[in-house]
Structure formats: structure tokens, C-alpha cells
Amino acid sequence: MDTDDYIPPHCGRLLRGIAEGSHAPDILGYGVQVHCPGDVEGDLTIVDHVKLVRNHPAIRFEFRIHEQLLPSIRRLGGDVARSNVYVVHEGSRPTPEMRAHKRERDLRILAKEVEDRPNHPFALFNLGMTHSDLGNHELACQFLERCLAVSDINESQVPKAIALLVGSLAALGRYDQAARACEQGIDTFNDDIELWFRYAIVLNDLDRVDEAISAYQRVISIPNQQRFRSVDPGVGTYKAMFNLSMLLRHHGRASHAESLLREAIRCNPLWAPAHQKLVEVLLEGRKFNAAEIALEAFQKTLPNEELLTYVEGRRLEAQGDIEAARDKFATLLQSNALDSESLESLGRFFFEHGPDDQAVIVLSRLAESRPSDGAPWHNLGAVQIRLGMLDAARDSLERSLALRPDAHHTRTLIEQLVVSAESV
């Protein structure tokens, strides 16, 4: 165990039972899950590790970090059995500063590992994964592609390497390549929930909506997998349901979206995004009584003041109390609790109802959070014109036009600004 792991008492009793039990001669170790809590309440990543092994002199850890026992077990011709034991890795929730320091340290160690073992698939995988975590997606693609080129298809890191490669390709805007990588991975690992989940996201990015819906439905239907893995189990249940509900919501199927959100909450009552969006979907359908009930459940389960303030503001807006909604939303201008879609709703509200200085704050944050979306830059430019911030407006509109060259309304506003500047 790591120094920042702990084992729950009932798992300690299970562990003792396994250790004191009988074992087939070829079983040289047991897999133990590592539960890594996420930054968002209710989030969890599960990593399978070999942690309980025979006291054999040839079974030794390998690699400088992300140490592994499995290679030496395989060299002895042994096998690994699964167990119901898990440990909780509290070190998975460091501060942003601690996380950045750890990843920079990992990069230095992993670079040395790859220097010593330039064609070792696991060393290449770990370096690619760390670059992906740091947002160095070009480098991540390079190392993950090298990893896959030298990996045996049966090695445990292969499906995860494909999934990370897909994520980095999508982050670089290479959606067609990401889709092809997913399709190739799914051909081999047809029951891998993360590959199907990422495939659904990429299909939606490519505006292949019907295929994305089918892919999410496929994710939800896949049973639990029985191979070594590192996965967020939520992608096979409540997160897939959530994403599918948002897709259906945006395509006019609100009733189906509502039922999926309720099922997502049933799967994980502690996951705030599903509670938040359920209230919003009900408000959009003008189901005010149901929205009040859902909001009360949200308050009891997850007393997150900023999210609750946002949802309460949406309720007031839906019921036509714009002044009260404005007061609620004004307290959230610097909030880090809101996702991109919620920021978009705030930006729309202040764009339509003012005040313009608050609209600028929200739209600036939204534009920075969506660097490839020209719409927030256009709206920001329009508000800046209303405020007389003409130089800033021209910069925002030009950034919007660079992302959407065919947006005639943006081009018209820029031309009007040029004429105004020349007439001064």
C-alpha cells in the first residue's frame, strides 16, 4: 500500500481471509482495487493493482514510479486472481499546486525511465498519460502512439492508451482521427466502456448525433468488465446517462432527458451535475412543482451553496422574476463551481437583461473556457460596443470571425466599427 492509502475495516477482514485461505498453485497474486476519489463529490476512479502476492524471491516491483508486480508474475508463468478487496487512495485529492508539482516530478522520472527503456510499452504509456494530464496533447499523442506500436494487444494498458490517445486527439480538434482511433480500439475491445464513452463524445463533436446517441446507449448496456483496468465506473452508468440526457435535451426530447437524469441520480445520489440539470430541465418544461421537489432533494443531498444559488436563480428567471434572478446571479460572477453550460446561461441572462458590465465578466470567462467557439466572442464584442469599449470589441469580434469565417453578422459589426473609427 502507498503511505496515503487506507484499507476499510471490512476489506481488511476480506484480505485476512484470502491470505489465510487455500490457493491454486498457479495463483501468485491477487488483484486489489484502488479507489481514487475525484475532485467532484461522488466521482471515483478505480484502478486494478496486484497488491497481495506470494512471498517468492522472484516477485519484485519494477519501474521507478507506477511500480508493477505483474511483469515478474508473468515471467514465472503465474496468474493473478481477482478479489473484492479495495483500498482508498486519499492522495488522489491534492491541491492544484500539489498536483502540478507531482506531475512535473513524474515527468522528470518518466523521461529517465523512457531513456533507459525506450521501447518499453508501460514506460511509454505512463509518459503519454502524464503529458495528457498536463494538457501537453501533442506530446501525449506521440508517446501513446509509440506505446501502442510496441504493445502486445493483450497487455492491460492497451485499451487505456487508446482512450487517452482519443482524448488528446479530440483536445487538438482532430475529431476524425479520434473517431478512427476509437473505432479501431472498439474492434478489439468491444466491451470497453471508456472507449465507447469517448466515441460518443467525439461523434457528437462531429455532429453525428444519431450515432452519438446509439454509442451512449451502448455504453449503458455494457456489463461490468473482468479485466485489469483503470476506469471511472461512472462513465458506464450515471455519466453516460447524464451526457445522453443533455444530448436529447438539446434535440427536443426533454421527457427522455428527465427520465435519464432521474436514473443517473438513482445510480449516484451524490453527483451534483445530475441534480442541477434535472432542476433546469424541469424548469424549461415549466414543471415548477416538480422542479421545487427536485431542488429540495438537491439541497438536502448536496448543500453546495454556489450551485444551489445558480439553480435558484434559474427558477426565478423561469418564473419571470428577473430582478430577483439578477440578484442571485450577481453573486456568482467569480464562481468556479459552474460548468461551461451554466456559464453560457449566465452570459445569455446578462446579455439580455443587463447590466452590461456583468455580462462582460461572464462572457469573457465563457469565451476563455471555449477557445474554439466563436459565439461567446461575438456576444462579448456586442456588449463591449454597447459599453463604448470599441478597441476591445473589435478584438473580440475578430477572434470570433477567425473561428467562424462565414459569420456575416460578426463581419457586419466589424465593418461598422471600422467606419465609426474612420469617421472620428
Q: How much is the pTM? A: 0.77
Same domain, yes or no: 301 and 329: yes
Looking at 307, 338, 369, which one is the last position of a domain?
A: 338
Same domain, yes or no: 86 and 112: no
- Tell whether the torsion through CA atoms of 229, 219, 277 and 383 is positive or negative: positive
Cell of 8: 476499510
d(CA 75, CA 70): 9
**The CATH number of the domain where 294 resides is what?**
1.25.40.10
Contact 247, 204 (CB under 8 A): yes
pLDDT tens-place values along the chain, 424 residues long: 888 899 999 999 999 999 999 999 999 999 999 998 877 667 788 888 899 999 999 999 988 788 888 889 989 999 999 899 999 998 656 666 777 777 788 888 888 888 888 899 989 999 999 999 888 999 999 999 999 999 998 888 899 999 999 999 999 989 999 999 999 999 999 999 999 999 999 999 999 999 999 999 999 999 866 555 667 888 999 999 999 999 999 888 889 999 999 999 999 998 889 999 999 999 999 999 999 899 888 888 876 788 889 989 999 999 999 999 999 999 999 888 888 888 999 999 999 999 999 999 999 999 988 877 899 999 999 999 999 999 999 999 999 999 989 899 999 999 989 887 766 5
Bridge partner residues of 339 (DSSP): none
Contact 94, 102 (CB under 8 A): yes
Same domain, yes or no: 417 and 370: yes
Who's near 114: CB < 8 A, 6+ residues apart?
A: 120, 123, 124, 127, 143
Size of the chain, expressed as the number of residues it contains: 424
Report helix, strand or coil for 389.
coil
Does residue 355 belong to any structural domain of this protein?
yes
Does residue 248 belong to any structural domain of this protein?
no
Contact 53, 73 (CB under 8 A): yes
Neighbour count for residue 382 (Cβ, 10 Å): 20
Contact 20, 42 (CB under 8 A): no
pLDDT tens digit sequence for 322-333: 999 999 999 999
Same domain, yes or no: 116 and 25: no
Does residue 343 belong to any structural domain of this protein?
no
Bridge partner residues of 68 (DSSP): 62
Domain that holds residue 356: 349-424
pLDDT tens digit sequence for 76-128: 999 999 899 999 998 656 666 777 777 788 888 888 888 888 899 989 999 99
